[in-house]
Amino acid sequence: EAFLRRFQGSVHFPMPSPEERLRLWRDHFEDQAFSLAGDVDLDALARQHEVSGGSIVNVLRFTALRAADRDPPEVRFTDLEEGVRRELHKDGRFLGLRG
């Protein structure tokens, strides 16, 4: 709180809707040097995980590093889950186990 009092004001950015998240996921993966594995479902990812646009960018960076170590370079669904898990953890939220 002491840190926030030093600001004159703040801007609230609402969490993107599932449709907006899907557009962000698709846009960010569009012109990459790697492909998405067959198990990747961006629609399900957008619906299931409420993350910000900035978090989506961070997940993209995380998954790009993973993909770069593969031949051919591809992002797998498990990479995306781990990236989302890391971002949620930063916010004090947790991703439940699939089952």
State the pTM of this model.
0.80
Q: Could you tell me the residue ranges of all domains in the chain?
A: 16-90
Residues belonging to the chain: 99
Q: How confident is the model at residue 97 (pLDDT cuts 50, 70, 90)?
A: very low
10: which strand partners?
Answer: none
CB 71 within 8 A of CB 42: no
Q: How far apart are CA 45 and CA 83, in angstroms?
A: 11
**Over the stretch 39-64, which tens digit does the pLDDT of each residue have?**
999 999 999 999 999 999 999 999 99
* CATH architecture for residues 16-90: Orthogonal Bundle (1.10)
**Over the stretch 14-38, which tens digit does the pLDDT of each residue have?**
999 999 999 999 998 888 888 999 9
